Every structure is written in C-alpha cells, then in structure tokens.
Amino acid sequence: MKANVGRFVEAQIRKGESVQGEFMMGIDNNVLSEWWKPQPNPAVVDWIETADWFVPAPVIAEIQEGAESDPSAVRKLQINARLDEFIRDFGELVIDLDAETARTWGRLKHSVAVKRQPQALWDSLIDAMAVRHSLVVATRNTADFRHADTFNPWRD
C-alpha cells in the first residue's frame, strides 16, 4: 500500500524545492485517520492506494496533539502506535516545514481570505505547505483551506 511517488519528485520535495508542473497531493489528517479506521470509506482507501501523495509535517503534529489530549491511555497508545508504524513505513513521504514555507505561512496569515475567516494553526500551516509545494490538499474539510486547491476523496 505504498503511494506511487516518482523518485525525482520525491527528491525535490525532500530538498525543500517546489514541484512545479506536477500534480501532487498533500493529505490532511482526516484522510489519514479515515485510512486507519477499522472500516474505512472504500472510496478513500481506493484513492490513497492509487494516488500520488505526501503528508505535510503539521498533519503528524495535529494527530500527535490529538493523541496526547485523549483522556484514554489505551487510545493514546493506539494512536501513537499507528503514528510510529506510519512514520516507519511512509516517513519518506512526510514533507518537513522549511524556511520558505514559514515565509509563505507568514504572508498567507495576513491575506484578506484569512482576515475574513481565520484558520486553525494546523490548517494554516498545511495550507502554506500546499501553496509552497504546489500541492492539492486531499481533505473532507475543503472550506478549512483558504489558498490551496482541495480535493475531497469522499466525494470527488
């Protein structure tokens, strides 16, 4: 169940370079969480198993934050085990937050769209990473992203 990622594109992303002209996807936490469900949505699973995708590092942070805030010690351990397994198997597909993305985030944070309707921190960072790397964000919550193009694997 490895994502189909070209070596050249993967190397560009890992070096912090934007991938112009390529149609690549960045997945939001709700897509990854859906994949981990005991009975995930078949359309989402099919999309994950056939699409080219990357995971913005803030998605990992958002899931980790959720694990740490869970009052159930058992659930916390389950989520951490899933993250450990994911990073072991797909760590090369995690895009790190770099200096140029940080600058992009700072610019977008003061855009008219964000001033009109503020974004949650994680969504704003994912939005900036998608803009920086020309990624389309795969998410159920398309309205959460003010600047990046979005794709809903549950519907689209």
**Model pLDDT for residues 79-121, shown as the tens digit of each residue:** 999 999 999 999 999 999 999 999 999 999 999 999 999 999 9
Q: Is position 17 within any domain?
A: no
The CA-to-CA distance between both ends of the chain, in Å, stands at 21
Q: Is position 104 within any domain?
A: yes
Q: How many domains does the chain have?
A: 1
Q: Is position 99 within any domain?
A: yes
Q: In whole angstroms, give the CA distance from residue 14 to residue 25.
A: 15
Q: Is position 89 within any domain?
A: yes
Give me the CATH number covering residue 82: 3.40.50.1010
Q: Is position 70 within any domain?
A: yes
CA dist list (Å): 23 to 41, 52, 75: 24, 8, 35
Q: In whole angstroms, give the CA distance from residue 111 to residue 143.
A: 16
* Residue pair 54/25 in contact by the 8 Å Cβ criterion: yes
Q: Is position 80 within any domain?
A: yes
pLDDT per residue as tens digits for the range 26-59: 999 999 999 999 999 999 999 999 999 999 999 9
Question: pTM for this structure?
Answer: 0.83
